[in-house]
Amino acid sequence: MNHFKQQNKVSDTMRILYIFPHPDDESFGPAGGIWQQKRQGHEVFLLTLTKGGATKQRFKFNYSIEEMGEVRYKEMLEVEKTLNLNGMTVLDFPDSGLKEMDPRELEAAIQQHIEEIRPEVVITYAVHGISGFHDHLVSHAVVKRVYLEMKENGANHLKRLALLTIPEDGADKNPAFKMNPSKDEEIDCTLNLTDEDVAKFEAALNCYKTYQEVIQKTNVVELVGTRVYYEFFQEDFDPKVDDITAAL
C-alpha cells in the first residue's frame, strides 16, 4: 500500500530517503533528526518494507497479523503528518520474514523506489541493526547492494549512504535490552537536536498508540536524548560533521 505526496522542491536542498523494515523504525531514534532535516529545507521521504503486523503486541489486542498491520499503518499516517514527510510508502513484505525472502525481490522494490524519488542521500540501519533483529540486518544488506549497484550503473544523483547507529555509551542506557553500538571512530555525523526536534521525536513516538508499552520499556526517549548518530558508508569524517548533507 502506498501513500505518497509531492511538495514543491526547495532550491539548494537535497532529497533524503530513509529505508527501514518496520513501522516505528523511523521514530525510534531518527525522528528528531528527520524533523531537523525538514527544518533545514530538505525533502525527506520514508520507505518502510513491512507493515509490522507480526509484533507480539498484536496478542495484547487480539489482532491477527493482517489486522495489526493495518492498525500500525494507520499509526504511520499520523507520523507522516507529524513529521511533515514529503512522501511515505509502506510495502507489505512479511514482517519478521525478510530473511526467508529472495533478496532480489526486496532489492527490486527498493531500486524502483529510489528511481522514483531520486534522493541524494539514502539512510538505513548500520550493519549491526542496533537491535540485531534479522529484519534490520537484511535491510542493511539489500539497501547497501542496491545503492552500490545503482551508483555503478550511473545513478549519479546518489551521493551518500548513511547508516543510523548509536554510540558505545548509548548501548548501556537500558541494560534490559541488548543494543549494538558503533565505535566512536566509525561514527561520522552527530546531529545535535534542539528542543523543537526532541518534541517532534516524542510526538512521533506518541503516534504509535499500540506500542506505548514497548516505548516505555525500551526507554527510547532517554536512550536517544538530544543526539542522532550516523555512519557514512566508505567515508571518514574526523572531526565528525553535524549535518547529514555535509560536504556533498
Residues 8-48 pLDDT 10s: 333 479 999 999 999 999 999 899 999 999 999 999 999 99
Q: Which three three-digit cell numbers place residue 34?
A: 528527520
| Partners of residue 88 on adjacent β-strands | 3, 46
Which long-range contacts does 213-216 make (Cβ < 8 Å, 24+ apart)? 213/57, 213/60, 214/57, 215/28
| Partners of residue 192 on adjacent β-strands | 227
Half-sphere exposure in the Cβ direction for 217 (13 Å, CA) = 8
Helical spans, DSSP H, in the chain = 31-39, 57-61, 65-83, 103-117, 134-152, 195-206, 212-218, 220-224
Distance CA 162, CA 16 (A): 10
Q: Using pLDDT thresholds of 50, 70 and 90, give the confidence band for residue 176.
A: low
Residues 54-103 pLDDT 10s: 988 899 899 999 999 999 999 999 999 999 999 999 999 999 999 999 99
Tell me if residue 219 falls in helix, strand or coil: coil
Mean pLDDT value across residues 179-204: 96
Question: Which residue has better confidence, 177 or 195?
Answer: 195
Distance CA 216, CA 228 (A): 19
Query: Rounded to 10 degrees, what is the CA torsion of 173, 36, 5, 48?
Result: -20
Domain spans in the chain, listed from the N-terminal domain onward: 2-232
Q: Is the pLDDT of residue 142 over 50?
A: yes
Contacts of 151 (CB under 8 A, 6+ apart): 158
Nearest residue to 23 via CA among 15, 58, 194: 58
- Provide the CATH topology of domain 2-232: Rossmann fold (3.40.50)
Q: Would residue 213 be called left, alpha or beta, if left means φ above 0 and alpha means ψ between -120 and 50 degrees? A: alpha
Confidence at residue 177, expressed as pLDDT on a 0 to 100 scale:
73
